[in-house]
Amino acid sequence: MGCYCSTSKKYKTPGYEEPTVLASETPCEYPSSSVSVSEVEALYELYMKVSNSVIEDGLIHKEEFQLALFRNKNERSLFADRIFDLFDVKRNGVIEFGEFVRSLGVFHPDAALEDKIAFAFRLYDLRQTGYIEREELKEMVLALLHESDLVLSDDMIEMIVDKTFDDADTKSDGRIDQDEWKAFVSKHPSLIKNMTLPYLKDVSLAFPSFVVRTEVEDSEL
């Protein structure tokens, strides 16, 4: 791919960062498998589609994030709220392009397993205490059941939560720390299956017109 033109008008959005920089900072397990500049540029088009779906300001607001996930900006989801909060690194109520790419990088098929496990831990650590407590686990279980349209009795839910928590809390101190979580996920890898989005491997193919157009413009420099 040719050189990147950082002065192009179409990139004048709040929080925009150079694709070359973002590509080098995404968390992938092997340097040779890092997210490419073309993939970052393709993600930019995806970002712009989402960030201008409700409010045309080039920033992703929570309702736009909900709309992208559920086709309904009024749909509420604990998982979506938690992911939005983790993507919103600056804690300013919006997701900027740099935050979007860096955070999404952990979902890349080549991202390190440890990064995926750590992100999932933060997802469950609702109160951001550095531990997963029983009530937090229960909230996430209830959210998962709701989004899967599964209806279980209260007794069954309590049984699932108790069994899961007891298995993970190997120190029996009433909370799950990061080491316990890592060991628990190692035994139950399905817990982080949603931490990998296969299409990110070929994201540039999802927006070929954008990538081709960019390459043509670069070749003219």
Q: Using pLDDT thresholds of 50, 70 and 90, give the confidence band for residue 72.
A: low
Q: Which H or E element spans position 168?
A: helix 154-168
Asked if residue 28 has pLDDT above 60, the reply is no
Q: Which residues pair with 133 in a beta bridge?
A: 175
Contact between 19 and 41 under an 8 Å Cβ cutoff? The reply is yes
pTM over 0.85: no
- pLDDT: which is higher, 1 or 201: 201
The CATH H-level superfamily of 113-195 is EF-hand (1.10.238.10)
Give me the pLDDT at residue 1, please. Answer: 36
Alpha helices in 71-133 (DSSP H): 78-87, 97-104, 113-124
Where along the chain do the CATH 1.10.238.10 domains lie? 14-111+198-214, 113-195
- Of 171 and 15, more confident: 171
Q: Taking Cα atoms as reference points, which of 30, 31, 64, 40 lies closest to residue 50? A: 64
Q: Say what the alpha-carbon torsion angle 191, 184, 187, 198 is, to the nearest 10 degrees.
A: 30
Pick the CATH number of 14-111+198-214 from 3.50.50.60, 1.10.238.10, 2.60.40.10, 1.10.3720.10: 1.10.238.10
